[in-house]
Amino acid sequence: MITLAGIIGSGKSSLTQILAQELGSEPFFEPVEDNPVLPLFYKGNEIAAKKRQAGDKDATNPYAYLLQTFFLNRRFMMMKQAMRHPNNILDRSIYEDAMFMKMNTDMGNATQIEYATYQELLGHMLTELKAATPTNDTDLMVLIKVSYDTMIKRIQKRGRKYEQISTDPSLIEYYQRLLRYYADFEKNYELSQLLIIDGDKYDFVENQADRNYVLDLIEDRLVTLGNLSAKQAEKLKKERRA
């Protein structure tokens, strides 16, 4: 199983689709368009920020715990579906979820009780996944790293109103904070093999040469992990360049 990770606008969904097509596998996508909670969460962030500015230091986002639980449930189901067949690709996994919930708690958007409850639920899910797959040594996490400027450009390009810093200036601090938490996530991640892609340097969506390079990196790692034979990888590379 290949899981993608990266901040908003890093290109996870695009690379998931590209990889699925390349490897002849099934992609699993993060629920966004059918997520009724996400717009509420962004609105809740804005409301909480205004309350704190007005002096209410204990103001929380009433939708933070709801959103993270919604995502956790969906991603858990996606991972269980993906585990039924080899070499499936997910554009997000529950491995990042603890980071998001911790950040929301540190920001005051969620309470310590909500965080503890969430951690307990996540722990049960990770235990079940581990029991279903006794070893995850051959699983691969592909982390796409992008800068703040690149992230903002891509957010503007895809045009979701509730994600725009022009609509909600408080998102500037939120996005910058999220980048710092992703840096810690990268340092501490150990639930599967990890491959870092420079999303600023390599435009795997628009530039074919960059796409080939990124796919080469991933396929070479799959060969090292024993999930792809060297012969299969070489064939894929030749077909892409034909």
Could you give all domains of the chain from N- to C-terminal order, each with its CATH number? 2-241 (3.40.50.300)
Per-chain mean pLDDT for the chain: 89
pLDDT for the residue numbered 101: 93
The better pLDDT of the pair 43, 132 is held by: 43
Active-site residue identified among 58, 91, 137, 200:
91
| Residues of each annotated binding site for substrate | 30, 42, 68, 92, 97, 163
pLDDT tier, 192 (very low <50, low <70, confident <90, very high otherwise): confident
CA-closest candidate to residue 12, choices 29, 25, 24: 29
| Residues of each annotated binding site | 6-14, 30, 42, 68, 92, 97, 154-158, 163
pLDDT for the residue numbered 160: 83
Look up tokens 């990888």; give the residue. 233
pLDDT for the residue numbered 92: 87
| Residues of each annotated binding site for ATP | 6-14, 154-158
CA distances from 169 to 51, 79, 165 (A): 15, 34, 5
Give the span between the Cα atoms of 55 and 52, in whole angstroms: 5
Most distant pair of Cα atoms in the chain: their distance = 63
Whether the per-residue pLDDT at 33 is higher than 80: the answer is: no
Question: Rg of the chain over CA atoms, in angstroms?
Answer: 19
Dump strand ranges (E) for 151-220. 193-198
pLDDT for the residue numbered 211: 96
pLDDT tier, 17 (very low <50, low <70, confident <90, very high otherwise): very high
Q: In degrees rounded to 5, what are phi and psi of residue 114?
A: -60, -40
Q: Are 61 and 50 in contact (CB under 8 A)?
A: no
pLDDT of 67-104, one tens digit each? 999 989 988 988 888 888 767 899 988 888 889 999 98
pLDDT tier, 229 (very low <50, low <70, confident <90, very high otherwise): very high
Annotation says 58 is catalytic: no
Task: List b or e across 87-124, with b for residues whose CB sees 16 or more CB atoms inside 10 angstroms.
Answer: bbbbbbbbbbbbbbbbbbbebbbbeeebbeebeebbee
Whether the per-residue pLDDT at 134 is higher than 60: the answer is: no
Look up tokens 């920001």; give the residue. 107
